[in-house]
Amino acid sequence: MVAILLIEDDPLVRRGLQLALSRHGHEVRTADTGEGGLREFHSATPDLVVLDLMLPGIDGFEVCRRIRAASEVPVIMLTARGDDFDVVGGLAAGADDYVIKPAQPTVLDARIRAVLRRSTSTPDGVRTHRDLHIDTTALTVSLHGKPVQLTPTELRLLLTLSRAPGRVFSRQQLLEEVWEHDYLGDSRLVDNCVQRLRAKIEANPATPEYVQTVRGFGYRFGPV
Amino acid sequence: MSRRLWPRGLRARLLVAFVLVTVLGAVAAAWSSAGSASTALVTSTQQRLTETIVGQIGAITPQLTYPPDQGALDLLRAAVGTDTLVTYQNLRSVDGADLGLVTDALRTAVHTQNQLVTQRITVNGRPWLLVGTPITITAPDGTRTPSGIEVYTVRDLTDVEQQIDGLAGSAVSTAALAVPLAVLLALLAAGSVLRPVRELRDTARRLAAGDLDARTPPQGADELAELTVTLNEMAESVQTSMVAMQRMQADARRFAADVSHELRTPLSTLTAVVEVLATTADGMEADARESAQMAIIETHRLVRLVEDLMEVSRLDAGTASLRVEEVDVVGVVRDGLRARGWLDLVELVAPEEILLRLDRRRLDVIVANLVGNALRHGEPPVRLDISASREQVWIEVTDSGPGLPEHVLPHVFDRFYKADSARTRTPGSGLGLAIALENARLHGGDLTAGNSSGGGARFVLRLPRDLEDV
């Protein structure tokens, strides 16, 4: 059973999604404001947060930033279609994925399960690349011997890329492998996650050593 | 014909008109002044010559014997000068060759009128003055009797003629001097007329180009100033109605966007709960199950309709953004067909790969709408051709149905247009083709509808290769 925190201000939408997600086997707690959501987050420590961006009081972007500051818990945001400002802002605030409203519970459930699967991996030992150690069994990463806190999505991205150093992955390939999206995945998810990952493991994110951009194609893991 | 003779430009017309008027005026003035001057000149010359002759005769008359003999006549002739004929009954004294010019008419006039007669004639292009006079004897008591002596003399007037020609010549040269001045004046006048006309033209052009703030400040109080004021008033009223229209249009669009947005919240709830309903429908009674299934289907239709409405609102408002990335067009099309379970229904004819910079989701929307339309309204087999040149990429969707009727063709991209009024309910929102067209335009391409030679409906999407980064 997965503990989900749903932060949504409209009472009927909130209750409807709670009913549907419970039906998919999740334990759903709810909050109707950003402040209430953050309180609930700290007291209940959910496995995953489903966050509406349009909230009264402190908005979804700020809630996401504060959650990210405190924890690596996955965040899925609910956005309006075509509202690029929402998507870009939400991803910059640290969200792992997004679902367009009106959200179909089956789609939302699939995204929830995909995000949570990122915390599990087929273990094949410890990979060491220069100063970076990736333990595929314990699912931990350390740089210069110090542990690095990665979200499940960042970790899954790093595991996927480092599985085959030097191989170029297209954004679509990464979307399908890491995010489990269909062919219409949003490549901004990849670019945003790469940025956050670089900020955590690269000495100089502007000239990355481990996660390298292959212009016009995608990304690869270095050093090769 | 007249168009070729009469210049088109206003400046040239003014110039020609000014020169014509100046030349005509100068010629008329020269002609009339030369005419009156020559009359005066001829008259005074005639008078002077006549007076001279009369004086000469008067001076010699007292010395004459009467009745005169040949010697007296010769003396008289010599006093008057050359080209003179003096007659007395049968006696004649002649000098000069030009006396053949003395006409019988003159002689008769001198005889009958018994006084001095002058006549001007032109012979072989040369003007002559003929003077004839009888000589009267004045007795000591003052009575005057005709002596029977007549004096005829001929004077050449060529000098006078030359003087008159000189007058006419100077009139022509004066007119010639006036022409450059007239041209200069014409240019100045044309400038003062044309400047406001040019300003008006520039303003009208800017208005036509959509700059509704364009105005020309009126100068002076002439007809051009009136025209300027009228044009400004026209621009004002056009601007007012344009602004009103734009506001109404914006209001209508905002309304559509607001309505869609407001609909989304209840639809979010419905979308969530109909799934709960769906998972429990199996245990329901038949009528309740059917009701639940209808609620589910209609909710999904409603969601699609609202999404399409919002997409149209964004396209109308110009807020739809392109997320351009390099994609394989063939791959996107094939993936889209596969995801919708259409791979077996559509014959895809395409090269291995076509790389193009575009918005992957919008391309998928276009292709899904075209293929969905062909599958719903046309007949199988549906064929999808992808081809490319150096500049363009074409995606053609052709079905094997009866094709689009002529009266439908102009409306296929209209919103909510239904070709068959009886078939009011179709799975589509009625906005699909309109959205597809807008998406094509957003990429700088276009979408056209027609019929294939085989009879089926054919839609052709054309996309440019060189899409600029957006």
Cβ-in-10-Å burial (0-12, 13-18, 19+) of B344 comes to: exposed
Residues sharing a CB contact under 8 Å with residue A51, sequence separation 6 or more, in sequence order: A7, A37, A60, A63, A64, A75, A76, A77, A78, A95
* Residues A104, B336: C-beta atoms closer than 8 Å: no
B240-245, long-range: CB < 8 A, 24+ apart: B242/B212, B243/B212
Same-domain pairing of A29 and A48: yes
Task: Say which of A13, A171, A183 has its CB closest to residue B268.
Answer: A13
Kindly state the percentage of chain A with pLDDT values over 70.
Answer: 97
Residues pairing with B464 in the sheet: B392
Tell me which chain A residues have a C-beta less than 8 angstroms from the C-beta of B361.
184
Same-domain pairing of A22 and A110: yes
Q: Is the Cβ of A13 closer than 8 Å to some Cβ of chain B? A: yes
Per CATH, domain B321-464 is 3.50.50.60: no
Which chain B residue has the Cα nearest residue A108? B272
SS (H, E, C) chain B: CHHHHCCCCHHHHHHHHHHHHHHHHHHHHHHHHHHHHHHHHHHHHHHHHHHHHHHHHHHHHHHCCCCCCHHHHHHHHHHHCCCEEEEECCEEEEECCHHHHCCHHHHHHHHHHCCCEEEEEEECCEEEEEEEEEEEEECCCCCEEEEEEEEEEEEECHHHHHHHHHHHHHHHHHHHHHHHHHHHHHHHHHHHHHHHHHHHHHHHHHHHCCCCCCCCCCCCCCHHHHHHHHHHHHHHHHHHHHHHHHHHHHHHHHHHHHHHHHHHHHHHHHHHHHHHHHHHHHHCCHHHHHHHHHHHHHHHHHHHHHHHHHHHHHHHHCCCCCCEEEEEHHHHHHHHHHHCCCCCCEEEECCCCCEEEEEHHHHHHHHHHHHHHHHHHCCCCEEEEEEECCCEEEEEEECCCCCCCCCCHHHCCCCCCCCCCCCCCCCCCCCHHHHHHHHHHHCCCEEEEEECCCCCEEEEEEEECCCCCC
Structure tokens given for B90: 């049968």
**Shortest Cα–Cα distance, B369 to chain A (Å):** 16
- Quote the pLDDT of residue B469: 46
Say yes or no to pLDDT of B172 above 80: no
Q: Is the Cβ of A80 closer than 8 Å to some Cβ of chain B? A: yes
Same-domain pairing of A206 and A149: yes
Residue A41's CATH number: 3.40.50.2300
Q: Which pLDDT tens digit goes with each residue over B189-221? A: 888 878 888 888 888 898 888 888 888 888 877
* Contact yes or no for B365/B461 (Cβ under 8 A): no
Half-sphere exposure of A207 (CA within 13 A, CB side): 0
**Side chain identity at B269, as an amino acid letter?**
T
Q: Which pLDDT tens digit goes with each residue over B129-161? A: 888 888 877 777 777 777 888 888 888 888 887
Which chain A residue has the Cα nearest residue B333? A183
* Contact yes or no for B448/B437 (Cβ under 8 A): no
Q: Which pLDDT tens digit goes with each residue over A137-186? A: 888 899 998 999 999 999 999 999 998 888 999 988 999 889 988 878 88
| CATH among 3.40.50, 1.10.150, 1.10.287, 3.90.79 for B224-316 | 1.10.287
Q: Between chain A and chain B, how many beta carbons pairs sit less than 8 Å apart?
A: 76
Residues pairing with B72 in the sheet: none
Q: How many domains does chain A have?
A: 2
Task: Say which of B268, B272, B326 has its CB closest to residue A19.
Answer: B272
Q: Is the Cβ of A103 closer than 8 Å to some Cβ of chain B? A: yes
**Residue for token digits 């010769």?**
B74
Tell me which chain B residues have a C-beta less than 8 angstroms from the C-beta of A103.
268, 271-272
Q: Which is more confident, B193 or A67? A: A67
Cα–Cα dist B338/B329, whole Å = 14
* Residues B276, A19: C-beta atoms closer than 8 Å: yes
Q: Is the Cβ of B364 closer than 8 Å to some Cβ of chain A? A: yes
* Interface pTM, i.e. ipTM: 0.81
CA distances from B32 to B21, B28, B157 (A): 16, 6, 21
Q: Which is more confident, A121 or A195? A: A195
- Predicted TM-score (pTM) of this structure: 0.62
Of A68-72, A214-218, B409-413, where does mean pLDDT reach its minimum? A214-218
* Contact yes or no for B408/B398 (Cβ under 8 A): no
Confidence of residue B458 (pLDDT cuts 50, 70, 90): very high
Question: Residue A200 belongs to what domain range?
Answer: 126-221
Tell me which chain B residues have a C-beta less than 8 angstroms from the C-beta of A13.
265, 268-269, 272
Which of A117, A134, A164 lies at the terminal end of a domain, its last residue? A117
Domain with CATH 1.10.287 in chain B: 224-316
Q: Which is more confident, B407 or A223? A: B407
Residue A196's CATH number: 1.10.10.10
Domain with CATH 3.30.565.10 in chain B: 321-464
Residues sharing a CB contact under 8 Å with residue B339, sequence separation 6 or more, in sequence order: A182, A183, A184
In our burial notation (b when 16+ CB lie closer than 10 A, e otherwise), range A112-126 reads bebbeebeebeeeee
Which of A71, A98, A117 lies at the terminal end of a domain, its last residue? A117
Same-domain pairing of A184 and A113: no
- Quote the pLDDT of residue B470: 42
Domain with CATH 3.30.450 in chain B: 2-165
- Output the CA torsion sign for B423, B424, B428, B432: positive
Half-sphere exposure of B286 (CA within 13 A, CB side): 0
**Shortest Cα–Cα distance, B260 to chain A (Å):** 11
For domain B2-165, the CATH class is alpha beta
Say yes or no to pLDDT of B427 above 80: no
Same-domain pairing of A15 and A108: yes
B32-51: average pLDDT? 83
Cβ-in-10-Å burial (0-12, 13-18, 19+) of B271 comes to: buried
* Residues A82, B265: C-beta atoms closer than 8 Å: no
B25-54: average pLDDT? 82
Residues sharing a CB contact under 8 Å with residue B165, sequence separation 6 or more, in sequence order: none
- Quote the pLDDT of residue A201: 92
Cβ-in-10-Å burial (0-12, 13-18, 19+) of B233 comes to: exposed
Say yes or no to pLDDT of B261 above 80: no
* Contact yes or no for B400/B379 (Cβ under 8 A): yes
- Quote the pLDDT of residue B1: 46
Same-domain pairing of A65 and A136: no
